Amino acid sequence: MNCQAPTPSAMERVKHPDLNWVWRVAIAGLLILFLQAGSQAAEQTADAGTRAGLTIWPEPKPVAAVQFVDGAGKAHTLADFKGKVVLLNVWATWCGPCREEMPTLDRLQAQLGGSDFQVLALSIDQGGIQVVRDFYREIGIRHLELYIDESAEANRSLNAFGLPITLLLDRQGRELGRKLGAAEWDSPAVIEYVREVIASSQGS
């Protein structure tokens, strides 16, 4: 049997495989990854509890080395805040719920902020620190310091798929729990729980 050269139409099929088939394979792969991630998240959430609106993990979790700068342009990471209990709030001025809850974060910092506790409001505005400074001035924020991550890498690093996202960190910088969405951060329930966390970790 003689070998025959492929016809032009056959050669076209080799050069240009069925794109519909390629897309189906790609979508199927993404769906599997999505379902696996969802399953893992569901398992973690099933084991978690709730306090003051936060989902609290059974055990503290390590947190990525998020990088950002302060109002003076000085570089920071979350490691700089070890030794304090930290309420890390990732937000942006273009996020309506973020804007609404910001005064409650300011009041929480005013009431509990100090050597044992800090509200770290981390903006991911790409417009720069002046955008955040103007917003603080506009709504009368007086107790929160300015911090910004213009790259918005914090969202990806923290597995935060929406804004605002708030993480409660212990004195070792580990995540105790989190909340997606706005909250009344100066409510009696939050203040009571944060005080418990501060007191339980004294001297650690």
- The pLDDT tens digits for 139-192 are 999 999 999 999 999 999 999 989 999 999 999 999 999 999 999 999 999 999
Q: DSSP letter at 17?
A: -
Q: Are 158 and 191 in contact (CB under 8 A)?
A: no
Q: Are 163 and 94 in contact (CB under 8 A)?
A: no
In this prediction the pTM is 0.77
Cα distances from 19 to residues 7, 10, 26, 131, in angstroms, run: 20, 15, 10, 45
> Distance between CA atoms of 70 and 47, rounded to whole angstroms?
36
Cα distances from 47 to residues 126, 175, 187, in angstroms, run: 36, 15, 26
Taking the CA atoms of the chain, what radius of gyration do you get in angstroms? 23
* DSSP reduced 3-state for 143: coil
pLDDT digits (tens, 9 = 90+) for 16-55: 445 554 445 445 444 444 444 443 444 445 567 999 999 9
